[in-house]
Amino acid sequence: MNIVVLPGDGIGPEVTDEAVRILDWFVTKRGLPLRMERRLFGAAAWAAEGTTMPDASWDAIMAADALLFGATGSLDQKHIPAEERRKGSLLRMRKALDVFANLRPVRAWPALAEVSPYKPRTIAGTDLVFVRELTAGVYFGTPRGIQTLPDGTRWGLNTHAYTEAEIARAARFAFTLARTRRNHVTSVDKANVMEAGALWREVVAAVHARDFPDVTLEHMLADNCALQLSRAPTRFDVIVTDNLFGDLLSDCAGAINGSLGMLPSAALSDPGPDGKRRALYEPIHGSAPDIAGKGIANPLGAILSAALLLRWTARAPAEADALEAAVATALAAGARTADIALPGESVLSTRGMADAVIAALEHP
Ligand code: NAI
Ligand code: MG
User: Can you give the residue ranges of every domain in the chain?
Assistant: 1-104+258-364, 116-257
CATH numeric code, 116-257? 3.40.718.10
pLDDT of residue 79: 84
Top-confidence residue, 75 or 204: 204
Read off the pLDDT of each residue in 158-179 and give the average, rounded to a whole number: 98
Q: How many angstroms does the Cα of residue 244 sit away from the middle of ligand 2?
A: 9
- The pTM (predicted TM-score) of the whole model is 0.95
| CATH topology assigned to domain 1-104+258-364 | Isopropylmalate Dehydrogenase (3.40.718)
- Sorting pLDDT into bands at 50, 70 and 90, what band is 220? very high
Amino acid at 150: P
Closest atom, ligand 1, to C-alpha of 300 = 18
For residue 154, is pLDDT > 90? yes
| pLDDT (0 to 100) of residue 86 | 86
276 in active site: no
Q: What is the pLDDT of residues 305-347, one digit of tens each?
A: 999 999 999 999 999 999 999 999 999 999 999 999 999 999 9
pLDDT number for residue 254: 84
**Comparing 1-104+258-364 with 116-257, is the CATH topology the same?**
yes
Pocket of ligand 1 (CB under 6 A): 11, 15, 71-73, 90, 259-261, 282, 285-291, 297-298, 301, 339
By the 8 A CB rule, do 300 and 356 touch?
A: no
What band does 285 get if pLDDT is binned at 50, 70 and 90?
very high
pLDDT in tens, 65-121: 999 999 988 766 778 898 888 888 888 899 899 999 999 999 999 999 999 999 999
- Mean pLDDT, the chain, as a whole number? 95
At residue 286 the predicted structure's pLDDT band, cuts being 50, 70 and 90, is very high
